[in-house]
Structures are given as structure tokens and as C-alpha cells.
Amino acid sequence: MKKLLILSSAIILSLSAFTTGDGDKIPSASVKKLDGSSTNSNTFKNDGKPMIISFWATWCKPCKKELDAINEEYAELVKETGVKLIAISIDDARSSGKVVTDVKVKGWTYEVYIDENQDFKRAMNVNNVPHTFLVDGNGNIVWSHNSYAEGDEEKLFENVRKLAKGEKLSH
């Protein structure tokens, strides 16, 4: 029980101090395009408009729910804010062949990359999928969210709209 106490106080201490979104650039890592060629994550850009970077996998139900929910409003959101969604699949060799078929059948128009060696996932400190990041027009990572619950996309849309207007974000 004593151990549990030490552990919980350590956790509470560290949690209370953690903040995200102080504006670092996207770290560099090699990822694969769906046409098999490689590119570096530090080349992700969207002409001064915000970007959403969403980590997902073909076997992850909540990830696909989230990307489906975003997809329903995506065309409208792009028109309004100029946002671009970059979907990073962390599928390994077992399922990476399914990434392209899932994307096609779902009709997603996102920019999709495969992070088969999970170098980008490590560089972005992602523990579990889904994990979604927001990048402002200057290429700074300003917000992130782990997991997906029904309705989470509303908060994301709100934040994208704020970013497009140059406003500050809160969680």
C-alpha cells in the first residue's frame, strides 16, 4: 500500500505539471506514402493553414470511428478553414496492406502515410492510438488529444476554427 501511495503521489505531482502545446516543430522521421515512396515528416506543410495529424491503425476501432466522424464534416471544414488532415497509420507488416484498401473503401480524402517502423510515432511520443495533434499555420504543434470518445470531433473542429482565426487554444 505504501508503494501505491508513493506511486500515486509521483503521478499526481507530474501530472499537475504537464502541459502540452507550447509550440514545437514537427520532428523529423521517415514515413511511407501510399505509392511506396519515402518522405520525411518535417516536410509536412499546408501553406500557412492549420493541420491535423492523426495517428491510427486499421485494427483500431476508435481510430476509424474518429476518422469517419471527421470525414462527415471534412469537406466543409476544409472550405471554411483550409485545414489539412494527415493520417499516420502505425500498422505493421501484419496489416499495412490493409491501409490503402481501408482508406479507399471509406472514401477518406486525407493525406495518408504509413509509419511501419513507428519512428514518427516515437518522435511524437505517442503511447496509444488514436492520438491527434493540431499544428498551427507556422508549423508549431499546439494541441494534442489521446483516445476517442463519441463527440470528441466537435472539440477538434472548434479548435481548428480558432487556429484558423489565429486564436489561442484550451483543452
Partner 1 sequence: MSIKSTTRLLFLFSISLFYRTSSFAQLKDELGAIHGNFQIDAANYQKDTIIGADPGSEVFRYNAFGNINYQKGGFSAGVRFESYNPPLLGYLPGYKGSGVPYRFARYQHKDIDITVGNFYEQFGSGITLRSYENRGLLYDNALDGMRVIFTPKKGITLKGLVGKQRTYFSLSPGIVRGVDGELNVMELFDSILGNSKTKVILGGSFVSKYQEDQNPSLVLPQNVATGAGRLTVIRGGFNFNAEYAYKANDPSYQNKYSYREGKAIIASTSYGTDGFSMMLSGKMLDNMSFRSDRDAQNTIDMINYQPDFSKFHTYSLMAYYPYATQANGEVGGTAEIQYKVKKGTLLGGKYGMDITINGSAYYALDTIGIAPINDTLRNFKYTTNYSNVGNEYYHDFNIEITKKLSKKLKFTVMYANQFLNQSIVQFNTPDKEEHPDITSHIGVLDVTYRYKTGSAIRIETQGFFGKYDYKEHALDANGNKNITNNTGSWMSGLIEWTPSTHWSITVADQYNYNNPVIAKRVHYYYGMIGYVNGPTRVSVSYGRQRQGIFCAGGVCRFVPASSGLTISISSSF
**Rg of the chain over CA atoms, in angstroms?**
17
Closest C-alpha among 41, 36, 37 to residue 53 = 41
Judged by CB, which is closer to partner 1: 1, or 165?
1
Give me the least distance between CB of 110 and partner 1, in Å please. 14
91 and 98 in contact (C-beta within 8 Å)?
A: yes
Please name the residue that has the C-alpha cell 523529423: 28
Q: Which helix (H) or strand (E) holds 123?
A: helix 119-123
What's the min distance (Å) between Cβ of 17 and partner 1?
A: 5
Which one, 94 or 165, has the nearer CB to partner 1? 94
- Which residues contact partner 1 by CB under 8 A? 1, 3-4, 6-8, 10-11, 13-15, 17-25, 27-28, 34-38, 59, 61, 92-95, 97-98, 100-107, 116-119, 122-128, 131, 143-147, 149-152, 154-155, 171
- Give least dist CB 50 to partner 1, A: 17
| Cβ closest to partner 1, residue 82 vs residue 139 | 139
Within 13 Å and on the Cβ side, how many CA atoms surround 32?
Answer: 18
